[in-house]
Chains A and B, each alone.
Chain A
Amino acid sequence: MAPLVHNLGHSSHTDAFLAFLIGIGFGFFLEQGGFGNAVKLAKTFYFKDMTVLKVMFTAIIVAMTGLIFMDQFHMIDLSLIWINPTYLWPGIVGGLIMGVGFIVGGYCPGTGIVGLVTLKVDALFNILGALVGMAITAEIIPFIYEWWTGSLIGKRITIPEYFDISPGIVGFLIILIALGLFVFSEVMEKRSGHKE
């Protein structure tokens, strides 16, 4: 049963190589989606080119549906899968700061990397900025450590667990929301005269 790393017993070298291969796929589809171009990314926030929302929500519902079905068919042990911890306030504040960074700089770290390797100079500046921002934040975190590790709702808490609804129903609702966003995106692009 997956995740494979827990029962194949392969070496850390094999694991690193698989990470490398998966990364190639990640970088390829990010760049193919147009995420190497900051202007294309930012146009999402003006409802002129909704590529970001379309690619992101398609990816989320594909992977989510895959995990839900694999769990149902006992093909994967979800207790061995990484689930992001829920620290409420750091999650809210960090998210808000990232959102400001997104509209100011145009890239996020992953998209900045594909921008950099396709030779976008603005992506280089964005990544340098991110490294400096992280270095500064690492000096601040010890001073706000109690706040940063407080408001823990759960180390592995999910929406289905928190609201006590089955994952299938939550997944179905998220697919409906995604489809609604896709329709909205197509309408907005048509209105703004975006042609692809």
Chain B
Amino acid sequence: MKLFTKSNYMNPYIAGVGLGLVLLAAFYVSGNGLGASGAMMRTVVIVEKVISQAHVDSNIYLSKYGGGDKNPWDAWLVFQVIGVLVGGIISGIFGGRMKVEINHGPKITKKRRLVFAFLGGGLFGAGARIARGCTSGIVLSGGATLALGSWVTMVCLFIPAFGLAYFFRKNWI
């Protein structure tokens, strides 16, 4: 088994072992799993606090993150995501992938790709808030702890991704 593929990515099984050990280390050190979307939500609340603290206080969901004097960024997850930024850059330099580009299927324009990227992101963000986590917090972390709801959400996430793939094939292949 080679450590790197011809296109300079790490062998997926080895990258998976690395990722699994990082996840295990997170549980071992802090008791937390890995996450991503929670830090994005906290960033949204930071912006909303600047615009209107009263609005954050009056919303039962937003106030959990940033009600009153609460600093939404004062959270384990936020520091972990700052690490993700750095780790991604290190790996990108290492793999020669630090390049300004728009990745899309051969049959669509860059503009169409950006529109769909935005819309897809919006849906993913909405779903992550409703499900209380995303692929990192639910599928990876909840998958490893065998959390019942995480496995339900994992299955539900893959059904439309595979099931609707045919209708979005132009975007990708």
Using CB atoms and an 8 Å cutoff, list the residues of chain A in contact with chain B: 2-6, 15-34, 36-40, 42-43, 45-46, 48, 50-51, 54-64, 66-67, 70, 76, 78, 80-88, 90-114, 116-123, 125-139, 141-142, 145, 148, 153-154, 156-162, 167, 170-171, 174, 182, 195-196
Using CB atoms and an 8 Å cutoff, list the residues of chain B in contact with chain A: 5-7, 9-10, 12-13, 15-37, 40-41, 43-45, 48, 59-62, 76-77, 79-92, 94-95, 97-105, 113-165, 168-169, 171-173
What is the bound-complex CA distance between A133 and B118, given in angstroms?
Answer: 9
What is the bound-complex CA distance between A119 and B41, given in angstroms?
Answer: 22
26 residue pairs bridging A and B, Cβ less than 8 Å apart: A2-B27, A18-B29, A23-B80, A27-B87, A28-B90, A29-B10, A31-B87, A46-B172, A54-B16, A58-B19, A58-B20, A62-B21, A81-B27, A91-B156, A94-B153, A101-B120, A101-B124, A103-B120, A105-B117, A122-B113, A129-B119, A129-B122, A137-B125, A137-B129, A142-B60, A158-B145
Using CB atoms, name the residue of chain A closest to B152: A91
- Give which listed residue, A4, A43, A67, contacts B144 with CB less than 8 A: A67
Using CB atoms, name the residue of chain B closest to A171: B146
Using A22-B26, A27-B89 as known contacts, list a sample of 12 further A-B pairs with CB atoms less than 8 Å apart, ordered by residue number in A: A38-B117, A86-B150, A90-B131, A91-B156, A93-B130, A94-B127, A102-B120, A109-B40, A129-B125, A132-B122, A142-B59, A154-B148
- B158 contacts which chain A residues (CB < 8 A)? 99
Are B135 and A108 within 8 A (Cβ)? yes
What is the bound-complex CA distance between A64 and B142, given in angstroms?
Answer: 10
Distance in angstroms from B141 CB to nearest chain A CB is: 7
- A100 contacts which chain B residues (CB < 8 A)? 120, 123, 127, 160-161, 164
Indicate whether A138 sits within 8 Å of B62 (C-beta atoms), given known contacts A19-B80, A26-B80, A95-B155.
Answer: yes
What is the bound-complex CA distance between A12 and B27, given in angstroms?
Answer: 17
What is the bound-complex CA distance between A56 and B139, given in angstroms?
Answer: 8
Are B146 and A39 within 8 A (Cβ)? no
Distance in angstroms from B134 CB to nearest chain A CB is: 5
Are A110 and B36 within 8 A (Cβ)? yes
- A157 contacts which chain B residues (CB < 8 A)? 147-149
Indicate whether A37 sits within 8 Å of B103 (C-beta atoms), given known contacts A26-B19, A60-B140, A86-B148.
Answer: yes
- B157 contacts which chain A residues (CB < 8 A)? 95-96, 98-99, 102
Distance in angstroms from A12 CB to nearest chain B CB is: 9
- B88 contacts which chain A residues (CB < 8 A)? 27-28, 30-31, 36, 113-114, 116-118
What is the bound-complex CA distance between A101 and B123, given in angstroms?
Answer: 5
What is the bound-complex CA distance between A145 and B62, given in angstroms?
Answer: 12
Are A59 and B123 within 8 A (Cβ)? no
Indicate whether A42 sits within 8 Å of B172 (C-beta atoms), given known contacts A84-B133, A133-B125, A159-B151.
Answer: yes
